[in-house]
Amino acid sequence: MKSCSNHALLTNHLEKMKQVVLRIEDAAFEKFMGMVDLCPMVEVLNVCDSGDKKLTIDRYVALAISEMRHDLAFKNPCDYAYLMVAMNQSVVKGLPFFYTPKDFIDYMRQSDFDNLPGRTTIYDTIGKVKGKYPDWTFTDTPKASEALRRKNLVKRFLSAFMRAQSRVSDAFSDNMR
């Protein structure tokens, strides 16, 4: 029960925060970071060179999917398709968009993931998803528990994605000290 209340507090806290992306000249960076350190209500999530944003997001995605694979979250090969649909629906701003199942598979392979479903499996699965997450319905009319499991895959991904962001920002903070 305690973890549920902690999750609710964290969710409430995150909802009250805004994310700001800034571009700072190298000469002003250290002075700016010094000012940020003076404000306890500001949290630095990430610092990257201007061309690194896509690489940073790709890293979070790879870490999140690795965690899910480690936890055996993917019960069926088609489960990856639900992540593709969610990413295409921008469940997190900045996630890549995939025009075809092949694009998604290629993206996953860039992160060295193996044992992926084929294009047909993904194509057939995304065709069964209707609506916008989290209000998805499925044309193959699964049992309520299966529909919930499919939606929960995306919740697990989002949680793992946020943990990946946090781990990377914590590592960055440790290196700044």
- Average the pLDDT over 52-77 and give the result: 90
CA distance 81 to 86: 9
The DSSP code for 27 is H
pLDDT tens readout for residues 86-102: 999 999 888 899 999 99
CB-CB contact of 165 with 61 (8 Å): no
pLDDT value of residue 15: 59
pTM, 2 dp = 0.68
Q: Side chain identity at 128, as an amino acid letter?
A: K
Nearest alpha-carbon partner for 117 in 99, 104, 130, 129 = 104
Q: For residue 22, what is the DSSP state?
A: -
Average pLDDT over residues 116-127: 96
Percent of the chain with pLDDT over 70: 76
Two structure tokens written together for 137 = 């319905």
Helical residues (DSSP H) of 21-143, grouped into ranges:
26-37, 53-70, 79-88, 101-110, 119-126
Q: According to the model, what pLDDT value does residue 1 have?
A: 41
Determine the Cα angle at 117 with ends 159 and 155, to 5°: 15
3-class DSSP state of 82:
helix
Retrieve residue 25's tokens. Answer: 């000249």
**What mean pLDDT do residues 32-42 have?**
81
Task: Note the pLDDT tens digit of each residue in 127-175.
Answer: 999 999 999 999 998 899 999 999 999 999 999 999 998 877 655 555 5
| Calpha distance 71→14 (Å, rounded) | 25
Chain centroid to Cα 13, Å, comes to 19
